Amino acid sequence: MTKKHGKKHEHENEAQPIEPAGTDSATGTDAAAHAESCAADKHGQHTAAEATGKPQHEGSAGEPARDAQQESSDTDKIATLETKCRELQDQYLRKAADFDNYRKRMIREKQEAIDYANTNLLSDLLQILDDFDRAIEAGKKAGEDAAAFMQGVMMIRSGLLTLLESKYGLQYYEVQGLVFNPEIHEAVATNPSAEVTEPTVGAELQKGYKLKERVLRPAKVMVLMPTPAETK
């Protein structure tokens, strides 16, 4: 009985083929996992496309438009900066010109202040010169007795006038016989005359002086006026 049971057990073992461990079951598992992964990827792509409202491949088509817009914006910025640069350059040139004019004006005014600093002093000294002139005229009328006195006075006057002319720029200017000019002449009296065709200085009543190019005191004069017949 034991032998029969053993043979029967051997036949059962021979009837059942031995399967390789993990071959079919592992292959099926890997295939299922790969299919699920592909399905998940497709689902994710589909979901992203639905979320953006555009197909996924349309993203690359929008990039040239954004690049063109960015380039246009950069061009506008450059044009704005160039315009601003030109405006600032113009402002700089105007300011530089204004400053140069200001500098020249200050130099001129400073020089004028130096040149005419003694205006008040010289104006006071002119009265002394006038006194000398009157003394000389009186000496001429006094005759021979006053000749020495008059000569001394003339020397003093000449020395003073030379000092004022050389050191301070005082200048006497002639007026006799010149056309009347209100800028350098002060008309004290007028006389009609048929010998002139326009107002003319007939006599110098008080000498006129200049300080460099500026009139320090206008000459007081008598003006000869043309008669109506000569005016026609």
Q: What is the CATH number of the domain that holds 223?
A: 2.30.22.10
Residues 192, 141, single domain; the answer is no
Calculate helix-pair angle for 119-142, 147-168, nearest 10 degrees.
Answer: 160
Residues 230, 175, single domain; the answer is yes
Whether 204 contacts 176, CB under 8 Å: yes
Residues 122, 138, single domain; the answer is yes
Torsion sign (Cα): 174, 180, 183, 188: positive
String of b and e for 215-230 (b: at least 16 CB within 10 Å)?
ebbbbbbebbbbeeee
Least confident of 4-18, 96-110, 117-131: 4-18
Question: Residues 6 or more apart from 183 whose CB is under 8 A from it?
Answer: 215, 218
Encoding tokens for residue 216?
Answer: 């320090």
Rounded to whole angstroms, how far apart are CA atoms 164 and 167?
Answer: 6
132-181: pLDDT as tens digits: 888 888 777 776 667 777 787 888 888 888 888 888 888 999 999 999 99
In a domain, 15, yes or no: no
- Phi, psi at residue 210, to the nearest 5°? -120, 150
Q: What is the pLDDT of residue 62?
A: 60
What pTM does this model have?
Answer: 0.47
**Strands, DSSP E only, in 14-75?**
none
Domain count for the chain, please give it.
3
In a domain, 30, yes or no: no
In a domain, 10, yes or no: no
Domain enclosing residue 151, as ranges: 118-168
Whether 171 contacts 212, CB under 8 Å: yes
